[in-house]
Amino acid sequence: MYRRSLLVGASSLALAGSRAAQAQGVIKVGFPMILSGPGALFGEPAMKGAQMFVEEINAKGGVLGRKIELIPRDTKGNADEAVRQARDLILRDEVQFIVGTLTSAEGPAVSTIAKENKIVFIAPIPKTDQLTAPANLHPYVFRSSSNTTIEGRTAAEIVAKWPVTKIGTIAPDYAYGQDVTKAFVEHLKKIKSSVEIVDQQWPKLGEADYTPFINAQLGKKPEAVFSALWGGHFVTFAKQAKPLGYFKALNNNLIGVGEAGSIESTKSMGADYPVGIWGNTYDVFNWPDAPPAHKDYITRLKKYTNQEHPSSWPITGYIGMQFLTDAIAKAKSLDSDKVSAALKGLTIDCPLGSMTMRAKDQQANHGQFWGRTKMDPKYPFAILENVTRIDPEPFMG
């Protein structure tokens, strides 16, 4: 028994010594993200944005005089895998913070791990309201992305101006799809009482054959459709819907949330993209009213990614990391509770302008870009025309 106590004590001392040594070295940040499968269309560039931020801040000396080490892990778009990777990052890699996850299944799952281990977790992409709902809110979870309430209500504001009353919806049957569709429908009915929801389709996340859902929706003859299919899922859906005359039947009156208007989607589809629909995106390389900080960011991003027309998703990883490092600098500490306190109410000056992490719900006031897609002879892919960035504050609750 005495010898066992000595071994346990020695192990504890070794672990404490390891953490003490780490505290004097790099700041380890775990980055669980979808890096394979359909979701990688957004996950890979999001990781690139985080990596770019880390390289830039390290070149300036890091934060608190310490360099950042970003440790990516592939969640494969699976909540259980995201949990496994988060635990591994914390226990084996001894990360001090986590920034990452993409789906609205992964985010809440990793939030639970962050709470258990009292480690700050910033979600740069998951949008489900459930992530920071009062029942699930805790001191260590923060969201630097938009959310389903903002996205759904903003889309409703746009559709309410269209000369249509019969609306259909199609969304993946999980937290994100359910929450954003609910926000859209409730807000649309509130501001335009004449609308009627004539059809709702709920394919599973990762559905390979959307044909039955497309035909069923066409049979109900909606005048417009709200779609929450995203990433490779939207690409698959659109490629199957176009030959069936789906978009023509709607007169292109489809609004695609889940960043259906992002350059990742338009580039990957090329001529198959349903030009004329509406969509949203986190960033646009050709933002006509861009402030100097954004223009500078795009110039750096082009160089970093070696892309003349850079992706829209790097901004998510970039902003998530900026919130974290600004909070560490403000707290003057790596202590989770102190960094958590520093994040509440923190305002950062990012490439998109001023952005604040609200203290009451630990949600950033992060809006998105909206517009109708069109072809432009300057580009071999569809872009958004008349780009607008709607202030999210009135729709946050």
* Residues 68, 325 contacting (CB under 8 angstroms): yes
What does the alpha-carbon distance between residue 118 and residue 271 come to, in Å, rounded to a whole number?
Answer: 48
* Residues 67, 27 contacting (CB under 8 angstroms): yes
**For the segment 93-150, what is each residue's pLDDT rounded down to a tens digit?**
999 999 999 999 999 999 999 999 999 999 999 999 999 999 999 999 999 999 999 9
Contact partners, residue 9, CB within 8 Å, separation at least 6? none
Q: pLDDT below 50 — which residues of the chain?
A: 1-23
What single letter denotes the amino acid at residue 223? E
Q: Could you give the 3-state DSSP secondary structure of residue 273? A: coil
* Residues 353, 291 contacting (CB under 8 angstroms): yes
Residue 127 half-sphere exposure, CB side, CA atoms within 13 Å? 27
Residue 360 half-sphere exposure, CB side, CA atoms within 13 Å? 3
Q: What is the pTM for the complete model shown?
A: 0.90
Q: Which pLDDT does position 12 carry in this prediction? A: 42
**For the segment 266-311, what is each residue's pLDDT rounded down to a tens digit?**
999 998 999 999 999 999 999 988 999 999 999 999 999 999 999 9
What does the alpha-carbon distance between residue 395 and residue 175 come to, in Å, rounded to a whole number?
Answer: 19
Three-state SS for 37-69 is CCCHHHHHHHHHHHHHHHHHHHHCCCECCECEE
Q: Any idea what DSSP says for residue 221?
A: -
Contact partners, residue 26, CB within 8 Å, separation at least 6? 66, 67, 68, 69
Tokens of 222: 């909606």
Q: Which pLDDT does position 38 carry in this prediction? A: 87
Residue 284 half-sphere exposure, CB side, CA atoms within 13 Å? 27
Contact partners, residue 117, CB within 8 Å, separation at least 6? 90
Q: Any idea what DSSP says for residue 255?
A: E
Q: Which domains does the chain have, with CATH numbers?
A: 20-146+296-356 (3.40.50.2300), 149-281+369-395 (3.40.50.2300)
What does the alpha-carbon distance between residue 115 and residue 271 come to, in Å, rounded to a whole number?
Answer: 46
DSSP 178-204: HHHHHHHHHHHHHH-TT-EEEEEE-PP
State how beta strands 196-201 and 166-170 pair. Answer: parallel
